[in-house]
Structure 1
Amino acid sequence: MHGGWCWRSVRDLLARAGHRVFTPSLTGQGEHRHLLGPDVGVATHMADVADLLHYEDLDDVHLVLHSYAGVLAGPVAGRAAGRIASVTFLGAFVVRPGECLLDVEPPGTADRYRALAAAEGDGWCLPADASFLIQWGITDEKLAAWVAPRLTAFPLRCQTDAVDFDPGPLAALPASDGRHTRPPLPSLERSADRARERGWDVHSLPTGHDMMLEDPLATAHLLTRATGNGTA
């Protein structure tokens, strides 16, 4: 339900530290909300990221994926082989080949999302609603008032499309897991277990799920530590 806008402050901090930073909005999200439709799915968003790397001719890329975008890691690593230097799962979901996002969510959460899409999203999307801010741990009233009107409806297909990829390219990359602890998100517990099983570096922030909005400076520092690129 976010777009590149949520990374504005982190992007500016990293750019001032000398990094070249891209914060693309996925199809149907943020300023691309006019492209939202029932055909938008995981493959659409994978192409968004992979095509950015291609058309900007980027390499040595430290790919940072937040929340849902974690499911794009495997497909993007395969399609953009040779361009990516590392992957950071920032409060992000970790899926295996053949799984969809709802497969790694708690069953009750998956059922709630399907029911919400059926009842209020014409069967194909989760309507944007300020109540999600509570789930994500945003308690500051001023921040909530700024974020809520910028949320966009989210395609159910992005949660139900199985992700097909060769696990080899992703497994060959250095990976980090960035966790938030105040509060943690129960939906991410299975993904955190997988990060531990794979021996990824683990970093944490005392924020809620929208860490880039809650504490941009600490998020920028976490990303520079996770990627081994100095300080922000």
Structure 2
Amino acid sequence: MGNYVLVHGAMHGGWCWRFVRDLLARAGHRVYAPSLTGQGERRHLLGPDVGVAAHVQDVAGLLHYEDLRDVHLVLHSYAGVLAGPVAERAADRLASVALLGAFVVRPGECLLDVEPPETAARYRASAATGGAGAYLPADASFLTQWGVTDEALRAWAGPRLTDFPLRCQTDAVDFDPGPLAGLPVSYVRHTRPPLPSLDLSLSRARAHGWDIHSVRAGHDMMLEAPETTARLLARIAGLSEPGPRGAGTRG
């Protein structure tokens, strides 16, 4: 049995891991899929002061209070920013880190530093005009950007997207890269379609010598291809793979 902590990206919540979580749990693994402060069912905690530090505490706190060890930490998209700080605080609790279509930052960088300049400018402008200067407003256009084309999936996921704090995109992270470098790290890229914003992060993953894997899905691979994603996460961790989907998982 393995221990998984699945951490969602911007505008999502623990809900986005529902299908992957169920598949891994049926294979006998213990799975946690927390919603970060201000996101998902914790959207009532959204405020202008929510930043990266709060989300680092969310993940590190879960590891501590549940006394989790030998954890396979899975970080999607924005959550890649948390990799270094969480490893610095809790490397002794981690067995591996998997970055799924995630952003890779260096000490002193923020999320917008590793986005293309035109994308960073667009997000800042959107926050200024539609998010009271503090939030990136969530809307269905992001599903298009992330390559989600299935209409039923769009109808299910769209209403669950949550405005995202601008601070989570502009807070620079300060961490010792040593603890993360001492862990097995894998990077999963998505290819149908790829996301140009991740080109720099993918090149950094290769430069670090991390294992690179591919999934033929869009950015929200855990929603579009839960079975493929769950099997890959099990293979990366060297654990038993889930069987075919059954009742209670997305068809």
Scaled by the length of structure 1, the TM-score of the pair is 0.99
Letter of the structure 2 residue corresponding to residue 130 of structure 1 = A
Poorly superposed stretches of 4+, deviation over 4 Å: none
- Note if contact 2:63-2:69 (Cα within 8 Å) is conserved in structure 1: yes
**Partner of residue 68, structure 1:** 78
**Partner of residue 189, structure 1:** 199
Q: What is the Cα deviation at residue 222 of structure 1?
A: 1.1
**Partner of residue 122, structure 1:** 132
Say whether residues 1:220 and 2:191 are aligned partners. Answer: no
SS at match of 1:85: strand
Q: Distance in 1 between matches of 2:98 and 2:91?
A: 16
Kindly provide the CA deviation profile for residues 52-77 of structure 1, in whole angstroms up to 9, marking residues without a partner as x: 00000000000000000000000000
**Partner of residue 177, structure 1:** 187
1:13-28 equivalence runs, <5 A: 13-28=23-38
- Note if contact 2:84-2:179 (Cα within 8 Å) is conserved in structure 1: yes
Q: Distance in 2 between matches of 1:116 and 1:226?
A: 37
Question: How many residue pairs end up in the alignment?
Answer: 232
- Note if contact 1:86-1:227 (Cα within 8 Å) is conserved in structure 2: yes
Give the counterpart of 1:88 among 93, 98, 103: 98
Q: What is the Cα deviation at residue 228 of structure 1?
A: 1.6
SS at match of 2:42: helix
SS at match of 1:80: helix
Q: Distance in 1 between matches of 2:111 and 2:235?
A: 27
- Note if contact 1:201-1:226 (Cα within 8 Å) is conserved in structure 2: no
Scaled by the length of structure 2, the TM-score of the pair is 0.92
- Note if contact 2:91-2:180 (Cα within 8 Å) is conserved in structure 1: no
**Partner of residue 210, structure 1:** 220
**Partner of residue 162, structure 1:** 172
Give the counterpart of 2:112 among 91, 102, 126: 102
Q: What is the Cα deviation at residue 231 of structure 1?
A: 1.4
- Note if contact 2:52-2:82 (Cα within 8 Å) is conserved in structure 1: yes
CA RMSD in angstroms, aligned pairs only: 0.5
Q: What is the Cα deviation at residue 106 of structure 1?
A: 0.3
Instruction: Return 222-231 or 156-165, whichever deviates more.
Output: 222-231
SS at match of 2:15: helix
- Note if contact 1:97-1:166 (Cα within 8 Å) is conserved in structure 2: yes
Letter of the structure 2 residue corresponding to residue 140 of structure 1 = D
